[in-house]
């Protein structure tokens, strides 16, 4: 990034911030013995779960923040967790111990262990019908599991470096994967075929496949599909977040960090869309600036929650962004609630009618 | 399956071409796709019903075995929302199933209090039931009525005709079409149960009666080895049943082998008709194009006679059951991996292209200026919320369909 471009835009950033966009409902500290790697809200909005490098999963009541379960069984750090989209009692986790575990929260026990990967499993996702689980691993493959039978449907030799993140389009037809090799690939969930490959080159004539050293693709740390499945949000370790039109192979928006600081150069800090507000926004964790929210269209920073200079590892949203949870390396968990005065007035196109938490 | 990034020529194909997969759990005798096309219900000869998820390569999602039929299933009908299934059987009964109750957790207290069986209603008749169908719109209210209608029809057995097949008119379900053993087509008004129209279609019994989903065409399969394709009159605007005309458009028959047809199905817009043929020597499905009446495709791949045949519209798949093994065969359109998808700068070309270096191709451009230019180009608005309403084949994808729950703790088939 050219420094003068950043400096000039910073002045605008600050003036456009909305300080009361979100309010912090509560903050939890020192819940795990090591860094918290991921945080997810259950599909019914009743609880959220965190996973940590201390090999445990904690489940909390979203409303009160009190811990309701601790799930132990993994032997190494847990990188990612995901709730079943059709059953908030079921949680899946993936770990450096090469296993994926399925947990019943009510019974506080592991009900299934899936083993296939040969190196650390970095990321997992459910399809929206809850019967297919997709995992990405540092063994450079993506595995598609049929949960009802416990069998693998397909293993995709996806990348030339560890897979860092995967996501599904809302219609469940495309798996989008991101890797440290700097590529994003789109796979058809059913056939397992690669449909498209995207990469961002800073130089005008660079090619993704060139063997020359001067072509450097920064690792992609996180991918997220837009709510309509037409765009991809990618976080790259060059410190920027980009919005892609994948049909057109084009970056259409670039979001940069506050005060010229990179968003993240080392970690997957997560990124989610917020559509509860009148204008759609993007929320992401950052390496040293806490949680940052951008306006999708203007790319301006609208909100920042800066508690410490430690990196925020994951953010998750519920009810189109009405609630945001975050977790950080130094063990902070935050619940943020959207200020009701910024909720968009017409509720058309919304899929949820209820809010689990009554605003105080 | 994502269609927008696939080969457009493969997406545009209107009928399946190759045998894609087979499903074999139990001896399937009858199949039916749900309206969205992501589930397949299979009626077994032991009276139970299996439900497959087609997205996960035919993984079994549910097995309706508790309180199930005791004789082979004869027909399956899905509600439009995908939550209910109506089945009929040779055990003289029809059953209505609520799929939200399958695969429930045993320790779930709430569910234990109420009746946890997925079978929510059963109606007994005084004879084997050949087919039962759900009312296209009002499935819950009309359920029993509909079955009683079935009952009424059965009672006519005492008279000279035996009603063999019934079907609702699509979309509104305001009329019931029935075919009799003497080749007559009877039309009954659904709300009054009055016989409003009757016409002789053939001299022998009618085996199948299929109305295309757009309501334009009717296929009558009778045991005289002919499938009659009939243009449907405008049932909505012409209110006087006496003015309805059922004109036979085409007759499909195998002139050489004189094969009988087991079962027929239309595609979504009634442009194609598929049929399975009777006899130990014939193992294929025949597809005709309905405007000219010409045979356009023979689907091969099974090693046995095929019985039931159904068309999955949105996935462009045809399913059929095998007589001997009870396997389900699925034909669909094959998609091939494009190697150009593996890198952003790969292009598939037909012929070699002479390399022409562009004027500025190897110019060194100031990176800062380039980044600045790129950022300036990013000022247009993006709509990240509005979804597509139709898929690449033109099917409505806005309608939500019921998702069958899963029991994560137990394996269904051991």
- Decide if A304 is inside a domain: yes
Q: Phi first, then psi: what are they for B57, rounded to 5°? A: 60, 30
> What does the block give as tokens for A137?
């691993």
Residues of B in contact with A90 (CB under 8 A): 408
**Contact call for B372 and A226, based on CB within 8 A:** no
- Decide if A276 is inside a domain: yes
- Closest to B137 measured CA to CA, from B174, B166, B109: B174
Residues of B in contact with A295 (CB under 8 A): none
- Closest to A279 measured CA to CA, from A353, A223, A342, A349: A342
CATH number at residue A48: 2.130.10.10
**A43 dihedral zone (left: phi>0; alpha: psi -120 to 50; beta):** alpha
**Contact call for B59 and A131, based on CB within 8 A:** yes
Q: Tell me the ipTM for this assembly.
A: 0.85
* Integer Cα distance of A329 and A272 in angstroms: 19
Q: pTM of the prediction? A: 0.87
Count of Cβ atoms closer than 10 Å to residue B345 Cβ:
14
Cβ-Cβ contacts under 8 Å for B22 (sequence gap 6 or more): B327, B328, B329, B330
In which domain, by residue range, is A190 found? Answer: 3-203+216-342
> What does the block give as tokens for A325?
């949870």
Q: What domains can you pick out in chain B, each with its CATH number? A: 8-332 (2.130.10.10)
Chain B nearest CA to A161, separation (Å)? 15
| A46 touches B at CB < 8 Å | no
Cβ proximity of B75 and B132 under 8 Å: yes
- Decide if A349 is inside a domain: no
Cβ proximity of B316 and B14 under 8 Å: yes
Cα-based distances in Å from B141 to B81, B118, B144, B195, B404:
14, 18, 8, 22, 22
**Contact call for A231 and B384, based on CB within 8 A:** yes
* Integer Cα distance of B44 and B246 in angstroms: 36
| A29 touches B at CB < 8 Å | no
Listed by number, the residues of chain A in 66-105 with a beta carbon closer than 8 Å to a beta carbon of chain B are: 84, 86-87, 89-90, 102, 104
Residues of B in contact with A190 (CB under 8 A): 1, 55, 57
Residues of A in contact with B381 (CB under 8 A): 297
Chain B nearest CA to A32, separation (Å)? 28
- Decide if A171 is inside a domain: yes
DSSP per-residue string spanning A161-212: S-EEEEEE-TTS-EEEEEETTSEEEEEETTT--EEEEEE--SSTT--TT---
- Decide if A359 is inside a domain: no
Cβ-Cβ contacts under 8 Å for A23 (sequence gap 6 or more): A336, A337, A339
Q: For each of chain B's 414 residues, which pLDDT tens digit applies?
A: 778 888 888 888 889 999 999 998 889 999 999 988 899 999 999 999 999 999 888 888 888 888 889 999 988 988 888 888 888 888 888 888 888 888 776 555 444 445 567 788 788 877 777 777 776 665 444 433 344 344 444 433 333 445 556 666 666 677 888 888 788 888 888 777 788 888 888 888 888 888 888 888 889 888 888 899 988 888 777 778 788 888 888 888 887 778 888 999 999 888 999 999 888 778 889 999 998 888 999 998 888 899 999 999 988 999 999 998 999 999 999 888 888 888 877 888 888 888 888 887 777 777 778 778 777 778 888 888 888 888 888 888 877 888 998 888 877 664
* Integer Cα distance of B278 and B263 in angstroms: 9
Residues of A in contact with B408 (CB under 8 A): 84, 87, 90, 102, 104, 111-112, 147
N- to C-terminal Cα separation, chain A: 43
- Decide if A360 is inside a domain: no
**Closest residue of A to B315, CA-based?**
A190
**Closest residue of B to A90, CA-based?**
B408
Residues of B in contact with A148 (CB under 8 A): 53, 56, 59-61, 406, 411-412
Cβ proximity of A174 and A195 under 8 Å: yes
| A108 touches B at CB < 8 Å | no
Listed by number, the residues of chain A in 149-188 with a beta carbon closer than 8 Å to a beta carbon of chain B are: 149-150, 153, 169-174, 186, 188
DSSP per-residue string spanning B60-108: EEEEE-TT--SS-EEEEEE-TTSSEEEEEETTSEEEEEEGGGTT--TT-
Domains in chain A, number: 1
- Decide if A312 is inside a domain: yes
| A321 touches B at CB < 8 Å | no
- Decide if A347 is inside a domain: no
Residues of A in contact with B337 (CB under 8 A): 191, 193-194
């Amino acid at each position: 990034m050219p420094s003068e471009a950043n400096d000039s835009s910073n002045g605008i950033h600050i003036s456009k911030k909305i300080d009361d966009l979100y309010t912090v409902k509560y903050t939890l500290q020192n819940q795990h013995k090591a860094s918290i790697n991921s945080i997810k809200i259950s599909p019914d909005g009743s609880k959220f779960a965190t996973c940590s490098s201390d090999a445990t999963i904690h489940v909390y009541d979203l409303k009160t923040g009190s811990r309701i379960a601790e799930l132990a069984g993994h032997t190494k750090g847990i990188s990612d967790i995901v709730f079943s989209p059709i059953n908030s009692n079921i949680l899946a986790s993936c770990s450096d111990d090469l296993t994926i575990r399925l947990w019943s929260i009510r019974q506080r026990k592991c009900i299934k262990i899936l083993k296939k990967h040969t190196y650390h499993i970095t990321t997992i996702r459910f399809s929206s019908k809850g019967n297919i689980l997709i995992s990405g691993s540092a063994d450079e493959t993506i595995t598609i599991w049929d949960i009802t039978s416990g069998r693998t449907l397909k293993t995709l030799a996806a990348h030339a470096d560890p897979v860092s993140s995967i996501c599904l389009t809302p219609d469940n037809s495309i798996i989008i994967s991101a890797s440290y090799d700097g590529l994003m690939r789109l796979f058809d969930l059913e056939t397992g075929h690669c449909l498209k490959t995207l990469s961002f080159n800073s130089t005008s004539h660079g090619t993704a496949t060139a063997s020359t050293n001067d072509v450097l693709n920064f690792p992609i740390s996180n991918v997220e599909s837009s709510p309509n499945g037409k765009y991809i949000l990618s976080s790259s370790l060059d410190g920027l977040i980009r919005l892609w039109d994948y049909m057109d192979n084009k970056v259409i928006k670039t979001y940069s960090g506050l005060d010229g600081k990179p968003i993240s150069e080392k970690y997957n800090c997560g990124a989610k869309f917020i559509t509860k507000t009148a204008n759609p926004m993007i929320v992401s964790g950052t390496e040293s600036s806490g949680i940052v929210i951008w306006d999708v269209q203007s790319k301006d920073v609208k909100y920042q929650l800066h508690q410490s200079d430690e990196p925020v590892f994951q953010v998750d949203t519920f009810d189109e962004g009405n609630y945001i949870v975050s977790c950080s390396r130094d063990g902070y968990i935050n619940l943020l609630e959207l200020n009701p005065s910024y909720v968009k007035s017409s509720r058309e196109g919304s899929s949820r009618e209820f809010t689990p938490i009554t605003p105080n | 399956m994502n269609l927008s990034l696939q080969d457009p020529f493969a997406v545009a194909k209107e009928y399946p071409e190759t045998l894609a997969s087979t499903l074999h759990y139990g001896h399937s005798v009858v199949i039916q796709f749900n309206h969205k096309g992501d589930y397949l219900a299979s009626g077994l000869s032991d009276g139970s019903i299996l439900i497959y998820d087609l997205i996960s390569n035919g993984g079994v999602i549910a097995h309706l075995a508790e309180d199930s039929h005791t004789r082979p299933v004869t027909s399956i009908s899905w509600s439009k929302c995908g939550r209910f299934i109506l089945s009929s059987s040779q055990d003289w009964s029809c059953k209505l199933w609520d799929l939200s109750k399958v695969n429930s957790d045993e320790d779930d207290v709430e569910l234990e209090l109420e009746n946890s069986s997925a079978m929510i209603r059963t109606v007994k008749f005084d004879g084997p039931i050949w087919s039962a169908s759900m009312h296209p719109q009002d499935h819950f209210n009309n359920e029993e009525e509909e079955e009683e209608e079935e009952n009424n029809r059965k009672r006519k057995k005492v008279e000279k005709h035996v009603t063999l097949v019934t079907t609702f008119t699509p979309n509104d379900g305001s009329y019931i079409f029935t075919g009799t053993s003497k080749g007559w087509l009877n039309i009954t008004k659904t709300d009054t149960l009055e016989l409003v129209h009757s016409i002789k279609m053939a001299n022998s019994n009618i085996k199948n009666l299929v109305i295309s989903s757009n309501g334009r065409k009717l296929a009558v399969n009778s045991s005289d080895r002919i499938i009659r394709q009939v243009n449907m009159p405008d049932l909505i605007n012409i209110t006087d049943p006496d003015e309805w005309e059922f004109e036979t458009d085409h007759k499909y028959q195998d002139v050489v082998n004189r094969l009988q047809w087991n079962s027929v199905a239309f595609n979504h817009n009634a442009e194609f008709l598929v049929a399975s043929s009777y006899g130990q020597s014939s193992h294929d499905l025949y597809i005709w194009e309905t405007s000219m009446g010409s045979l356009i495709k023979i689907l091969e791949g099974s090693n046995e006679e095929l019985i039931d045949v159904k068309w999955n519209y949105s996935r462009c798949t045809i399913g059929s059951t095998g007589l001997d093994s009870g396997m389900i065969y699925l034909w669909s359109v094959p998609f091939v991996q494009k190697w150009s998808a593996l890198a952003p700068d790969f292009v598939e070309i037909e012929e070699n292209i002479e390399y022409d270096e562009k004027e500025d191709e190897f110019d060194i451009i100031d990176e800062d200026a380039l980044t600045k230019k790129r950022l300036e180009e990013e000022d247009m608005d993006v709509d990240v919320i509005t979804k597509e309403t139709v898929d690449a084949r033109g099917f409505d994808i806005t309608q939500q369909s019921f998702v069958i729950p899963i029991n994560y703790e137990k394996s269904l088939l051991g």
